[in-house]
Chains A and B, each alone.
Chain A
């Protein structure tokens, strides 16, 4: 069996076993393709994303874990390091700082950390980055909160 499949299967079993290990992350493998995953992550508290649930799509390459998975937000999010239209994420561990010791789970954790600590100096969403860079934290937060409410809030009822 190819190494990537074996490794993903390990991660799959780990996710099944530790379902409640991290209540903020819910990783789900595609029914028919072990190389496609989705994740629901909770917006970290004390951030404008608090209360939102964001969906991520994972596309895992054949060379995984020697190469990083491709991850993007399916849920619209106003964040300096996430492309507003495509959901593409600018995160070093998904590019050149990838290490095969990372897992899909730890990637999710890194993304949650990125949500709490944006890097406005490497912006994919320039409007968002510029708000933070110019020191308009309130402006940034209210925009981010608005989009969290519009796009990432669980539908009630």
Chain B
């Protein structure tokens, strides 16, 4: 890769002048196997199978608030504000409550248990009402009958209380007001697991619902509980996710199945629905998460977490093991049971599979040094800081440039276009080529940014690919610089009122900028496809000829029709 540095510098890429920082001798992270078409992971699945040409204009347009609504309507997702979420949650609860003729509190418990799927609740309930009742803890008659005495013993503090100060769930187990409060408050403060709260009696499965919480918890806990309930509707529901933008309280309801995962929220933030990171084509979700982890890995916290915790194999939250056996149970709502040593599912650790012995073998292998590799990799990750810094700086500076370009674009639309229109006596609709150019710049900056994450994970031993990649990247940078230069600097001379330039000159400018936009657009489209294909064509010396050819036939789902750009809009899965 060193041999190619000159190319990059030649391609007037100011940012890569100090390319020699990275030495490239280390390989702390492995290359993700992105075969052509689909990386094979569920995450990126289909992301890269979209027809060419849709993404540039469409995605960039997503960044524009005024355009986004239009695009969103064609999308297979909708944006929910807090009121909408409450409304939907209420609707679901009311529907279940009406159809099953049960109180709303019980309907809430049922729905939460079945991840807020009304149809699932109906199916299960009508298939086996008794079974569902006992699983969820909705008793239809008390489990204990309290005789008609004046005083009862609380099952927690063992004091005697008059009946008026004793409260029970549907089961009838008696506990005093203050023990109930303590029990509920402690559970609420333990986290969202409180939504599945049961009667304190160990043998009792009776559910404790919103009504009892509101009656017995303190105000702060009531509020927390309500918050958890709302969050549960979004987080446990397979079709909804929060918008990850800071301060944004919208959720996204994603109806489409597989396919493209880029969504754009009301707050104008675009993100990948699959991994909830920002929109990141051409890089796949796996690489993005590695890259982002890496970006934060330099902090002390992350070092500590890496050294002392393992991620839950299911929900990926870092877990610190401080006591107990190897049989781990993640905290609710995940509750995944797994083996700490091998991180495999505990259900596979039966006697039949000899699973536990496999983990003994893990220990043995570790002692023999077979597992030292993981340790070495961590070491090397630290040593490769310099190489990483190189990529990170470029990644971050493209990010900054993109923000700047976005601001410029807004400025252009809000101020300059009207001015230009006046000066040159041209309707604003005919100045669309300028907006298009800026949209293109914004999109290119985004792609270029992610190519640096791509480059970081490109294995050093794939010399051919690396050289080709860096060549493509360099060309992309210089092409984008040309476009940016034209849209920013050359436009200036037409913006001064005194500039009494002949119309011909402006028309020339139009031709040039539109041409540059189109050329850059094509180039970046090819770049995205080539990278998404894992540079498979590196030996056949054509970055994307095969890829482009295979994507012609299109399904009509998903984003079809979204692309303004002329080419095919469909998507297929024949890759």
Contacts and interface: CB of A to CB of B under 8 A. Distances in A.
B146 to A, nearest CB: 16
Contacts, number: 67
Task: Classify the interface of chain A: helix, strand, loop or mixed.
Answer: loop
Nearest to B349: A121
Given A3-B157, A66-B183, A133-B356, A88 B202 contact: no
Given A10-B157, A99-B200, A99-B201, A121 B356 contact: yes
Q: Is the interface of B mostly helix, strand, loop or mixed?
A: loop
Contacts of B350: 121
Contacts of B156: 7, 65, 100-101
Interface in B314-336: 323-327, 329
Interface string A88-129: 101001011101111000000000000000000111101001
Nearest to B332: A96
B70 interface: no
Q: Which of B156, B159, B326, B357 counts the most A-chain CB atoms under 10 A from its CB?
A: B156
B182 interface: yes
Interface string B145-174: 000000000011111000000000000010
B360 A126 contact: yes
A148 interface: no
Interface residues of A, number: 29
B363 to A, nearest CB: 9
| B interface residue count range (under 10 / 10 to 19 / 20 to 34 / 35 or more) | 20 to 34
Contact of A101 (B201, B325, B360): B201
A100 B325 contact: no
A128 to B, nearest CB: 12
Nearest to A6: B157
B161 to A, nearest CB: 14
B186 interface: yes
A6 B158 CA distance: 10
Interface string A54-92: 000000000101110000000000000100000010100
B162 to A, nearest CB: 18
Contacts of A93: 202
Nearest to A127: B360
Contacts of A122: 325-327
A95 B200 contact: no
Nearest to A65: B156
A130 interface: yes
Contacts of A7: 156-158
Contacts of B356: 121, 123, 126, 129-130, 133
B157 A101 contact: no
B179 interface: yes
Most interface-central of A10, A90, A121, A130 (chain B CB within 10 A): A121
A3 B186 contact: no
A14 B350 CA distance: 42
B83 interface: no
Interface in B175-194: 178-179, 182-183, 186
B326 to A, nearest CB: 7
A101 B351 CA distance: 34
Nearest to B351: A133
A83 to B, nearest CB: 8
Given A7-B157, A66-B182, A100-B183, A130 B201 contact: no
A7 B324 CA distance: 27
Contacts of B182: 3, 66, 100
Nearest to B354: A133
Interface string A13-33: 010000000000000000000
Contacts of A81: 325
B189 to A, nearest CB: 10
B324 A124 contact: yes
A123 B186 contact: no
Contacts of A11: 158
A144 to B, nearest CB: 18
Given A11-B158, A96-B329, 16 more contacts: A10-B157, A14-B158, A66-B186, A67-B186, A81-B325, A88-B323, A90-B327, A93-B202, A100-B179, A101-B156, A101-B200, A101-B201, A122-B326, A130-B357, A133-B351, A133-B357
7 contacts: A7-B158, A10-B159, A88-B324, A96-B329, A101-B173, A121-B351, A130-B360
Interface of A: 3, 6-7, 10-11, 14, 63, 65-67, 81, 88, 90, 93, 95-97, 99-102, 121-124, 126, 129-130, 133
Interface of B: 155-159, 173, 178-179, 182-183, 186, 200-202, 323-327, 329, 349-351, 356-357, 360
Which 4 residue pairs across A and B have the least CB separation, nearest first? A122-B327, A66-B186, A90-B325, A99-B202
